[in-house]
Amino acid sequence: MRLSARFPTALAAALIAAPFSVTTASAANVSLSCGAVGAELELCRQGAEAWAAKTGNTVTIVSTPNSTTERLALYQQLLAAGAKDIDVFQIDVIWPGILGAHFIDLAPYSGGAEAAHFPAIVENNTIGGELKAMPWYTDAGVLYYRADLLEKHGRTPPATWADLTETAQAIQDAERAEGNAGMWGYVFQGRAYEGLTCNALEWIDSFGGGEIVDASGAVTINNPAAVQALDAAAGWVKTITPEGVLNYAEEEARGVFQSGNAVFMRNWPYAWSLANSDDSPIKGKVGVAPLPKGGAEGKHTGTLGGWQLAVSKYSEHAEVAADLVMYLTSPEEQKRRAIEGSYNPTIAELYSDAEVLAAAPFFGDLYSTFTSAVARPSRVTGEKYNRVSTSFWNAVHSVMSGQSTAEASLASLESELNGVKRRGW
């Protein structure tokens, strides 16, 4: 099966110069999977074009589903079949343990470049002593807010979820009274998919409810703090949050916020550059803060996200593909992506770069949010992580949609996850 029959592709480069660090005698064409959330696809294409111009190779861009759940399913299908459709895979931070057996070790091609990247991400990408992927950009959930509306109504960015709830309700009601009937207080990713796992883990961790499965492999999700967190979140739906949030992914939430119809939004850093683009109705009116704490004894937290680049072991041009990976994950390319698209670098020194901070000031202010984000339990659960996450987001969605109470849903989830675990992960 060739992906070109199912997914749009675009030629990303032309032959110009001799290979940069590739020893092949003739030019090669490699295929690169790219997401298309926000400006992601265009930035990916530009980076691939620059590498191709430098090396004399060509790149075919393969546009894959934006939904992480759908993308993982596609990757698993292709890799299980040993398909050669994609040479370089863009993979989520939680996938090295799931897909790593299908990727080459990049260490022989890196020249030690991984030492400049955040050690925790490099460790995450190292499976069985092999570097299965290079960090491309990191992520953590953050809170976007309408700075102009908070100033207008004499409010400050919320420290706790209770503060957010009260502020969102007050501003929503006041703005509606002034004629904006479409104003909502808070939007986020509430669809039953991996994005809801990220949001719900943030709620639960901020209340001190743990990480679903702890580092020892014990299922810890059924606890009072987790119940309290989900009860609070469920209370937002149809009060400060539209019921439609139950089908929102990243772009649906951004669409509402960027159109001027929400006070607060939870999203990833990529939304900053789009919210401040020339055609954005809210350009210059947006602030970014850490996500709220669960309460006075809670903590600010954000789920660790981010994407990596890996080379398929079924690639016919593995050396060339590895060279593309090293170029795209280089300091120069990460700096360009940070400035043009507010994608968080995985190289620490770029967080003190004046040009990067001028483009995305919150990178410096929220540095600790990005370096101490809460991780999903993908390493400890390994190949079973997808089943764990699916069970978790379905349990949370049932609470958010009013089909179950938090207490009953988490008790059932605990039993289900212990069944998935059985004698071990």
Name the residue with higher pLDDT: 47 or 1. 47
pLDDT at residue number 326:
98
pLDDT at 218 over 70: yes
Residues 298 and 309 in one domain: no
pLDDT at 263 over 60: yes
Confidence of residue 63 (pLDDT cuts 50, 70, 90): confident
Residues 380 and 362 in one domain: no
For residue 199, give every residue at least 6 positions away whose Cβ sits within 8 Å of its Cβ, in sequence order, or none: 141, 188, 189, 190, 233, 266, 303
Q: Each residue of 92-133: pLDDT tens digit?
A: 999 999 999 999 999 999 999 999 999 999 999 999 999 999
pLDDT at residue number 92:
96
Q: List the domain range (segments joined by +) for residue 127.
A: 3-132+305-368
pLDDT at residue number 66:
87
Tally of domains within the chain = 2
3-state secondary structure of 314: coil
For residue 137, is it within any domain?
no
Name the residue with higher pLDDT: 36 or 189. 189
3-state secondary structure of 9: strand
Helix axes 406-421, 385-400, angle to 10 degrees: 170
**pLDDT, average across residues 334-358:** 97
Residues 216 and 110 in one domain: no
**Cα(86)–Cα(90) distance, integer angstroms:** 10
User: Among residues 368, 386, 408, which one ends one of the domains?
Assistant: 368
User: Among residues 368, 383, 408, which one ends one of the domains?
Assistant: 368
pLDDT at 142 over 60: yes
pLDDT at 2 over 80: no
Residues 126 and 111 in one domain: yes
Model confidence, pTM: 0.88
Find the CATH number of the domain harbouring 226.
Answer: 3.40.190.10
Identity of residue 102 = H
**Cα(117)–Cα(163) distance, integer angstroms:** 36
**Cα(323)–Cα(49) distance, integer angstroms:** 14
pLDDT at residue number 11:
26
Q: Each residue of 3-24: pLDDT tens digit?
A: 433 333 322 232 222 233 333 4
For residue 359, give every residue at least 6 positions away whose Cβ sits within 8 Å of its Cβ, in sequence order, or none: 273, 338, 339, 340, 342
pLDDT at residue number 38:
85
Residues 185 and 148 in one domain: yes
Question: Rounded mean pLDDT of the chain?
Answer: 93
For residue 52, is it within any domain?
yes
pLDDT at residue number 236:
98
- Provide, rounded to the nearest whole percent, the portion of the chain with pLDDT above 70: 94
Confidence of residue 268 (pLDDT cuts 50, 70, 90): very high
